[in-house]
Structure 1
Amino acid sequence: MPTIEVSHKDLTRLLGKEITIEDLENLILHIKGEVDEVLGDIIKIEVKDTNRPDLWSVEGIVRELKGILGIETGLPSYHINKGDYTLIVDPNVQEIRPYVAAAVVKNIKLGKHGFSSLIQLQEKIMSTFGRKRRKVAIGTHNLDLIKFPVYYKAVDPDSVKFTPLYESSEMTLREVLDKTETGRKYKHLLEGMDKYPLLIDSKGEVISFPPIINSNTIGKISENTRNIFIDVTGTDLESVSIALNSIVLALADRGGEVYSVTIEYSNDVIETPVIEERKLSTSYNKIKRIIGMDLKDSCIVDLLKKRRLSAEIKDNEITIKYLNYRNDIISAQDVAEEVLIAYGYNKIQPKTPSIYTKGGLTKRRLLIDKIRE
């Protein structure tokens, strides 16, 4: 399970409310988390949910805590500005690393805590959700140094040279895999390929060599970087989109202004990021049976709002709305779980079951997991 480090001072500033470590230990349970260790201002939190990359940052945790504390409830609100940025995808990446999504964030004030949170979130998403960069890899770059349009293409490994991040000399893509620590660690992801993926700008400057490493110029950011270009490449489009949304929303929660990027495939044109409402309708009686408690309709609606969702009950149907940075709301069981988390598992009186059953994943869940593999 992902363990992240957050600054207590930074967390309370983003939350807009002072909370003690003791209070935080109790509140973190509402996001399937646990305070693992406290070292001065640094709190180590284990997030026991591998399906929620949005929670692997202090910004994501604060977003959820605002709901639990009643500071902000219901669906979070985000605005994506129409950007004048284009990323052109060459068809020759199709058999190598076919999907890419991107975004621009301007006027962000990262500072020390924001920068470390961004890098940590990036790494946690790539290592866990991204299957050690095989499914998803993320790059963050200095927007001010990039000339658009940007090109995502596959090139001969010996045809291009650039200086990799934190290196002092130029290398070919093939040399990067052999001469750098990161290259050696992830070279197996490109094993057997005749061409390697590359992200370059209109000046021919290398931005990054995904999923391996950024350049040491455009691809290098710091706590003082104000304008950021984010790219996410991978083998699964939904995972790429979720990863991008998790990064973008964290930066938006720090005051960054988000702009879209037009992605031009040979057979399609899309804009990313896409932050939109989704909904799930299911049997209300089924939800109540799963919960096992006699809660009023208004109480259930309020509890779901605390989980940053919206809900409407009509006849025997409940309709849940959620933003698409969540991909873990699939069935009535998931909705019931959201209600119980907001209610507090510690408030539920334990009862010995009269019938013993063996739990397991549903056939639908098993199929979804297999397809995602």
Structure 2
Amino acid sequence: MIDMPVIRVSISDIEALLGSRVTLEKLYKGLTKLKCEVDNVEGDILEYEANHDRPDLFSAEGLARALRPFLGLEGKQYHIVNSSIKGYSEGIPGRPYIALAVVRDVVLNEEAIVQIMQLQEKLASTYGRARRKASIGVYDLDKIKPPIYYRAVNPYETKYRPLNENREMTLRQVLSETEKGRLYGYIIESMERYPVLMDSEGTILSLAPILNSDDNKVTTNTRNILIDSTGLNPETVVDMVTIMAVNIAERSQSRIIEAVRVEHPGGLIIEAPRRKGNFISVNLSDVSRLIGVDISVEDAVRYLSLHYYTVRSIDGRVLTVEASIYRLDARSWVDVAEDIAISYGYDAIGRQADSLPYSTSIGKIHPLEYISRRVRDILVGLGFTEIANYMMTSIESQTTLMGYNQGVFVVENPKSDRYTAIRSWLTPGIIEVIIENKGKRARLAVFEIGDVVVPDESMETNARVERRIGIAVSHEKATLTDGLAVVRTLFKELGVALSFEKTMVPGLLPERTAAINVNGEQIGFVGEVKPEILYKLGLMNPVIVSEINLNKIINYS
């Protein structure tokens, strides 16, 4: 099971977008209608989980738009017009497609920028598969001289000033000297020439899909925004731009979106955003049988309007409807039936279904399982592969491999030499996976979430069970900085503040190992494996490992 993305919004910002005050009770009910789950409310900040198939709800703008009908408020219309701006793509091998759009007359404050950046990151990590499939960018159009070009350039000679940096860097330096470069650089580092967006004067807008330029970033003074998406599939980049454009348009005074045409090699033209949503034929008799409640045509039209469907034709009990252009999830009549059921009310459906048993208890996910799922989702989004080792292992693996002498629990009468002990840390098992896969990939990035048993005389059983996350990164130029970047990103997504300090861990370089501290408590480590151990194991590339106690993170997340 994949966790749903957690979205963080300001309630006062939602109210400003709605143009109306809203109580927490109404907000909760509205979120339920949108299949969202409230995670936390603290002061003005609301955190909720949105389904992966509803990326339009990944920011305050999309949430406010979706809530309007359920709060009895009129929807706001946006206008898509042809743009005079043109785009040209060289069809870069390995990442050939680009889509562009423009949103005019925006009014932004600091919270608006936070929401735009959140939407950008959530889209790229989920729908864009951690930027591998597609990425998304936004720019201050008034600082750019169109037309826009998407081309491949020499990474050693081409320079620009990356976002939030105070100096120019070559594209190769961006990959090795910036946090985003270290996280996502593997996507393009094997390319002979790197993909960039630039304007007619040769000013670089971004190194795709790594990092935008600081010179044309969106600020509170921005009034017109250029949006881009680059990726592997033409439909995906158009989807990304469409969602970003319609959400940003919620902050536009004129609500004008300009569709930009981008010419690709071979005569291919990609225009974004979409002008038409999916057309779906819906037989209400099928819907009634599916949800167990008879739905009339009049009720269906009313329920569908709450989800911004447009009814294009009615033939008896068969409706042809058009979904909104940003509803990527609405593809079949079953999807439409689900929205009808949501609007009707699952509670009302339940009252009419006599065969359903009464609930006798309230189910709730255990906090440890919840945080494990959150961490899994984040690391998969960062391009990591999950592995699973046995909890039973060998004494040699737990102790000799890394020079660990903290003690492990051993099996009294083992039936196999491979399973003579219970693991007390994850790192040795993860390194064994690195050994098994050496030479298969230039870059290995893996993680494991699992339990360990640690000797503890303060416990009645002399043992303590901990849930941990183990992480490893290995490639030709891997350093401690790679590990620090991953850990920082993980904790940022969890909303947990951390600090690092020098420490020592068996098998790791003392001068390149850091303790991970939260609120003054050490909860893990990150560091480089000693070269002599790598040599003994036959590993040519550096290996960076991290291990974190998830039981302790629960107290702070």
Match of 2:305 in 1: 305
Which stretch shifts more, 333-342 or 17-26? 17-26
Distance 2:145 2:295 in 1: 57
Match of 1:117 in 2: 115
Give 1:233-248 correspondences, 5 Å limit.
233-248=230-245
2:126 pairs with 1:128: yes
Match of 2:45 in 1: 42
Distance 1:196 1:352 in 2: 61
Match of 1:222 in 2: 219
Match of 1:169 in 2: 167
2:67 pairs with 1:65: yes
Aligned AA (1:236): N
Distance 2:204 2:14 in 1: 36
Match of 1:28 in 2: 31
Q: CA deviation at 1:84?
A: 1.3
Question: Secondary structure of the residue that 2:326 maps to in structure 1?
Answer: coil
Distance 2:21 2:213 in 1: 40
Distance 1:20 1:35 in 2: 14
Sequence identity of aligned pairs in percent? 40
2:314 pairs with 1:317: no
2:339 pairs with 1:341: no
Q: CA deviation at 1:344?
A: 1.6
Q: CA deviation at 1:162?
A: 1.2
2:228 pairs with 1:231: yes
The structure 1 residue matched to 2:192, chosen from 173, 191, 194, is 194
Larger Rg: 2
Q: CA deviation at 1:87?
A: 1.1
Root-mean-square deviation (Å)? 1.8
Alignment coverage as a number of residue pairs: 348
Q: CA deviation at 1:353?
A: 6.5
Aligned AA (1:304): L
User: Which consecutive unaligned segments of at least 5 residues does structure 2 have?
Assistant: 358-557
User: Which consecutive unaligned segments of at least 5 residues does structure 1 have?
Assistant: 355-373
Aligned AA (1:40): G
Question: Secondary structure of the residue that 1:193 maps to in structure 2?
Answer: coil
Match of 2:464 in 1: none
Question: Secondary structure of the residue that 1:287 maps to in structure 2?
Answer: helix
Distance 1:339 1:46 in 2: 21
Q: CA deviation at 1:298?
A: 0.8
Distance 1:118 1:9 in 2: 16
Query: Relative CO higher for 1 or 2, CA cutoff 8 Å, sep ≥ 6?
Result: 1
Match of 2:57 in 1: 55
- TM-score, structure 1 as length reference: 0.88
Question: Secondary structure of the residue that 1:84 maps to in structure 2?
Answer: strand
Match of 2:275 in 1: 275
Q: CA deviation at 1:39?
A: 1.4
Aligned AA (1:287): V
Match of 1:204 in 2: 202
Match of 1:257 in 2: 256
Match of 2:295 in 1: 295
Distance 2:23 2:99 in 1: 39
Match of 2:177 in 1: 179
Distance 1:28 1:316 in 2: 30
After superposition, what is the alpha-carbon deviation per residue over 1:127-185, rounded to whole angstroms, capped at 9, x for unaligned?
Answer: 11111111121111121111111110112221311111111222211111111111011
Match of 1:363 in 2: none
Which stretch shifts more, 9-18 or 245-254? 9-18
After superposition, what is the alpha-carbon deviation per residue over 1:279-322, rounded to whole angstroms, capped at 9, x for unaligned?
Answer: 11133321111121123221121111111113343124221211
Q: CA deviation at 1:330?
A: 2.1
Query: Is the 2:153–2:196 Cα contact (8 Å) retained in structure 1?
Result: yes
Q: CA deviation at 1:351?
A: 4.3
After superposition, what is the alpha-carbon deviation per residue over 1:216-251, rounded to whole angstroms, capped at 9, x for unaligned?
Answer: 212x22122112111111112222111111111112
Give 1:327-338 correspondences, 5 Å limit.
327-338=328-339
Distance 2:70 2:290 in 1: 21
Match of 2:477 in 1: none
Which stretch shifts more, 317-326 or 132-141? 317-326
Query: Is the 1:284–1:313 Cα contact (8 Å) retained in structure 2?
Result: no
